[in-house]
Structure 1
Amino acid sequence: MSVIRLLLPAPGFAEISLNPEELEKQGVVVITTEPNTAEPMNFAALDLVLIDGEAALQDNLALIDQIKSIAPACKFMVLLRHSSAHAVTYMQAGVKGFLAVLPDAVKLTEIIRKLVQGEYYLDQNIAQLLAMRQIKKQLDPFVSLSSREFDVFCLLAEGCSLQAIALQLGISSKTVSNCQTQIKLKLAIDNRGSLRKFANCHGLIIDNSV
């Protein structure tokens, strides 16, 4: 069984109960390092990077680009504990694995080996959410929204700020604000809380505690 080298960029996983010793028993060597101080040769030897999806999106995307330039064969997996708002963006960046919760060492190793072999892995909840969004955007009442307005709607429901949405979608904050106005008018929603509850009722967000 070949040894897999897994990088956990630090900081970001202080509160995650991942046991390196248990993973090593499964043939996965865990490397924790500060991305800004790591030598290129360390990156070149990596097989997979587990990224904390709760960290800053742009920092994570920059790290992915940095590692890909040094180790093109390296694979990436993102842990999205509370929000799937950036799942599509991560996919576009080349991420092939998505977790909503961290499984035990045996299951995690199974997932890691699949990713290293070039396969995809999407947590069932995340996969269902992404599929639901593709379906719902073509059905009432969301058919009245443009594609961009629907994307803004989902990100607003996830709790993203207007500025964060603008950055992710590559548009201006003013455009996001205009989309928000149109969304409220078309869906007869008057505030962010109502919007979030509306999205939850239609299965468009992961967190059901609304």
Structure 2
Amino acid sequence: MRILIADDHTIVREGIKMLLRDAYPNAEIVDVCDSIDLMKCVYKQKWDVIICDISMPPGDSGLDAIKQIKENSPKTPVIILSMHKPDQYAVRAIKAGAMGYINKGAATLELVKAVNQVMSGRKYLSDDVADVLADAFEHYNNATGVETLTDREFEVFKLIASGRSISEIAKQLVLSNNTVSSFRTRVFEKMGFQNNLELIRYAVDNKLI
């Protein structure tokens, strides 16, 4: 059994490895700290399961990584392990091809169960994630707000809401300032914002930051 872990926090990777070694003492477990090394490992070798954070440097998000993994190795199950609440990213992760989505706060209780389930070919959906997906399906034809944003637009939205400047966002996502400004313009047009303050207020009111 071969498991690949991708997370930019060393303490998180070490904790996951310790948990998985107890559950799978004969497994080969490899960990990486960014999306570049993640994809190098994916292109180089086959994995039984990949556990990936949703936010990693240097630019590609976990959502982008899922799509690339599924293009290269469609049958490899990917579990997203994230600090973000399911209502922010779970639907996008599942749409991108993830087989499971777990909040880091519940990882110790759920991760082994999730690994076993996705390796059997079934998605792992905790109760809170299942509720989010059911709600998203119910409102699919009447999408409003952040649901109308693409993955990259939503990423830019979140960074603006956290107070990042255009140049800071461009550096983090490895994009040009002009490209980030274009994404910002699309977000404003779709959401009806006139300025950053309105965007931040919306994010706070909807508990997106």
The TM-score range, normalised by the shorter chain, is 0.5 to 0.7
- Structure 1 residue 14 corresponds to structure 2 residue 10: yes
**Structure ID, larger Rg:** 1
**1:81 to partner: Cα distance:** 0.7
Q: Where do 5+ consecutive residues of structure 1 fail to align?
A: 139-145, 185-189
Amino acid at match of 2:10: A
More helix by share: 2
Match of 1:95 among 95, 98, 108: 98
Aligned to 2:172: none
Structure 1 Cα separation of the partners of residues 113 and 93 of structure 2:
21
Match of 1:121 among 97, 121, 124: 124
Amino acid at match of 1:195: Y
- Aligned Cα root-mean-square deviation (Å): 3.8
TM-score (norm 1): 0.62
SS in 1 for 2:70: helix
SS in 2 for 1:58: coil
Judge conservation of contact 2:54–2:61 (CA < 8 Å) in 1: no
Aligned to 1:51: 52
TM-score (norm 2): 0.62
Report the number of matched residues.
175
Match of 1:179 among 178, 186, 190: 190
Among all aligned residue pairs of Structure 1 and Structure 2, give the percentage whose two residues are the same amino acid.
Answer: 15
Structure 2 Cα separation of the partners of residues 137 and 72 of structure 1:
26
Judge conservation of contact 2:3–2:48 (CA < 8 Å) in 1: yes
Structure 2 Cα separation of the partners of residues 110 and 54 of structure 1:
23
Aligned to 1:191: 198
Residues 192 and 89 (structure 1), Cα distance of their counterparts in 2 relative to 1, 3 Å cut: same
- Structure 1 residue 79 corresponds to structure 2 residue 81: yes
SS in 2 for 1:30: strand
